[in-house]
Homo-oligomer: A and B are copies of this chain.
Amino acid sequence: MASPEPGGAPDPAGLSINLATLRRQCDLLQAVEVCLRHGITAIAPWRDQVAAVGLPAAVRAVRTHGLRVTGLCRGGMFPAATPEGRRAALEDNLRALEEAVELSADCLVLVVGGLPEGSRDIAGARAMVRDGIAALLEPARAAGMPLAIEPLHPMYAADRACINTLDQALELCVALDPEGAGTRPALGLAVDAYHVWWDPELQPALRRAAGRILAHHICDWLVPTRDLLLDRGMMGDGVIDLAGLRRAVEAAGFHGPQEVEIFSAETWWKRPADEVVATCLDRWRDHCQP
């Protein structure tokens, strides 16, 4: 089992565990204990994981152990078929914002949502996303909580996120928060290796994204991929040039932790949490250093 080592090895403070990675094994409090056993002091919980233990208990764990919360997953899901549906989505996002503030998260991650039920109008869905983010931005700014738009892989365009490239997300940032680029923009990006690795515009888009990156998620793309949602790979088991991506992300000004987020119903969700976290740390050291 890996453990923090003095000497040449990268400092585990550079690694965050997105708790979706341990979703089937642990609740939030147990996951924190596992991470701490491996010297990892940064996490990114999902809202349902926070709710399951209660927000006060989650906040207490973060404060007691001095954890860094690299993001709260997730806000977003803005499009809906009716004005009432869109209003309800906004209200839910405001609650997410409050939770992110309570947890002192680096950002609230936005998975923006796909097509409303029955719709084939992706341009319309994208307009709803823009309107939703615009409505959330002022409360977020007032709360000092950055919003990180996460472009999702195009295979999720219909049902999870109709923002599918870095450039598309960046265009929203520039339109809605024109002066925002900097060390902690009000509106920025979550760059997830799984979602963006294939993009022919990846390198230039990351250069254009300088000063807008709020989070950097990692895992790997398996060949073959057996499920559209739940077959993400451990770093090193797939085809993504994670070290190269990290170099480009750092060149664009982001030096925060890399956050491992692996949805893996058939492999990693079936392994003991300590083994998963130890493997994350080993693979991150071997495959993800710039």
Residue contact A120 to B239, C-beta cutoff 8 Å: yes
Give A196's nearest chain B residue, CB to CB.
B154
The answer for the CA separation of A200 and B127 in the assembled complex, in Å, is 12
Residue contact B122 to A198, C-beta cutoff 8 Å: yes
Say which one of A13-21, A204-212, A219-227, A247-255 lies at the interface with B.
A219-227
Residue contact B239 to A154, C-beta cutoff 8 Å: no
- Knowing A158-B223, A158-B239, A159-B224 are in contact, say whether A200-B126 is a contact too (CB < 8 A): yes
Residue contact B157 to A198, C-beta cutoff 8 Å: yes
CB proximity to B under 8 Å, residues A210-266: 221, 223-225, 228, 238-241
Give A224's nearest chain B residue, CB to CB.
B159
Give the A interface residue count (CB, 8 A): 31
* Minimum distance in angstroms from A232 CB to a CB of chain B: 13
Q: Which B residues are in CB contact (< 8 Å) with A158?
A: 198, 221, 223, 238-239
Q: Which B residues are in CB contact (< 8 Å) with A240?
A: 120
How often does this chain occur in the complex, in copies? Answer: 2
Give A203's nearest chain B residue, CB to CB.
B123
Of A119, A225, A239, which is in contact with the most chain B CB atoms at under 10 Å from its CB? Answer: A239
Q: Which B residues are in CB contact (< 8 Å) with A126?
A: 200
- Knowing A154-B154, A164-B198, A199-B154 are in contact, say whether A159-B223 is a contact too (CB < 8 A): yes
The answer for the CA separation of A81 and B165 in the assembled complex, in Å, is 29
Residue contact B225 to A168, C-beta cutoff 8 Å: no
| Interface assignment of A155: CB less than 8 Å from any CB of chain B | yes
| Interface assignment of A68: CB less than 8 Å from any CB of chain B | no
Interface of A toward B, CB cutoff 8 Å:
115, 119-122, 126, 153-155, 157-159, 162-165, 167-168, 197-200, 221, 223-225, 228, 238-241
A–B Cβ pairs within 8 angstroms, 15 of them: A119-B239, A120-B240, A121-B241, A122-B198, A153-B154, A154-B199, A155-B228, A157-B197, A158-B221, A158-B238, A159-B223, A163-B200, A165-B200, A167-B200, A225-B228
